Amino acid sequence: MTTADRSLPALWTGLERLPEMDEAQFDRWAALLKERTGMIMPRERKSFLVTSVGLRMRELGYEHYQAYYDYLTSGLAGNVEWAALVDRLTVHETRFFRDPRALQFVADECIPQMVERVRKGEHAQLWSAGCSTGEEAFTLAMLVDHALNEAGLPGLFGVIGTDISLYSLATAKQGAYPERRYKHIPPHLRERYTVRIPDAKGGFQICGPLRRRVCFAQFNILDASCTPPGSMDLVYCQNVLIYFDRETRAKILNGLVRPLRRGGVLVLGAGEMIGWEHPHMERAGSPDVLAFRRVKD
């Protein structure tokens, strides 16, 4: 087969095995992933890479890694295809109320400040960075809306959820989830913020008024330093940094400081970054919650 032949999709008649991915090919794919997303693909995850890329190649009819790689890097069509592939290469594991300790810190230390801002007629703003299919963003919205209702105040707040995966964001925008996700929402919040979907085998959807408080958008967290300055009361970024090397983690965190207003809080996953310091930030919360408060403009 010539080089030109290998650049075209092949029509596969069955589930033939993909060719082995050699070390040079793995390095090429790992470099592309890091260049476009900043994510690190260690060699011990080679089988995951091969499976993810291979399944997508099979769907399109490609049987050679190089031919598919050339297509991905071939301009506009390749950019569209990259959006599909990146969904296979990024992990979307999430659930409602995933980290009780961090959320308790948010409820005790962050939301009361937001309530006071609303009491003064101002708006509260929250950012769920790396929101996947939206459960985290809706969790934060439930907590804030419930606190404002308890205080008898209008819902002057907004939550933005961002992720690199368009597929995940499509689910988030619908706000509809299967029955197995229902149990993670506290009963008193289920009743207020969810509605059952008829003929959905137990599925449910976040209620319309809360969905309208949450906006979802595609965003590469590597570009955090390009966000508008000083607008966020809370940046919630959990289980995202684990996919990056230390240098990239520091770059991302420095960028996430920018959108925080003075007094705003950055919440990370426990153990995601050790030894990070920033002149405008100080540690906040208990030892088992990794959080930082902005203390300087």
- Rounded mean pLDDT for each run of 10 residues along the chain, 297 residues in total: 44 60 92 88 88 87 89 85 82 86 96 97 97 96 98 97 91 94 95 88 91 96 92 94 89 96 95 90 91 95
Domain end point (choices 89, 121, 140) = 89
Six-digit token string for 40: 């690190």
DSSP letter assigned to residue 22: -
Residue-number span of the structural domain to which 232 is assigned: 100-294
Six-digit token string for 37: 């997303």
**Do 137 and 265 have their domain in common?**
yes
Amino acid at 256: L
**Do 275 and 176 have their domain in common?**
yes
Overall domain count for the chain: 2
CA distance 195 to 208: 9
Q: At what angle do helices 65-72 and 23-37 cross, to 10 degrees?
A: 20
For 156-199, write each residue's pLDDT tens digit.
999 999 998 888 999 999 999 999 999 999 999 999 999 999 87
**Do 197 and 272 have their domain in common?**
yes
Output the furthest CA–CA distance in the chain (Å, rounded).
72
Domain end point (choices 70, 89, 108) = 89
**Do 119 and 71 have their domain in common?**
no
**Do 32 and 77 have their domain in common?**
yes
- The per-residue pLDDT of the chain, averaged, comes to 89
94 found inside a domain: no
**Do 107 and 191 have their domain in common?**
yes
**Do 45 and 111 have their domain in common?**
no
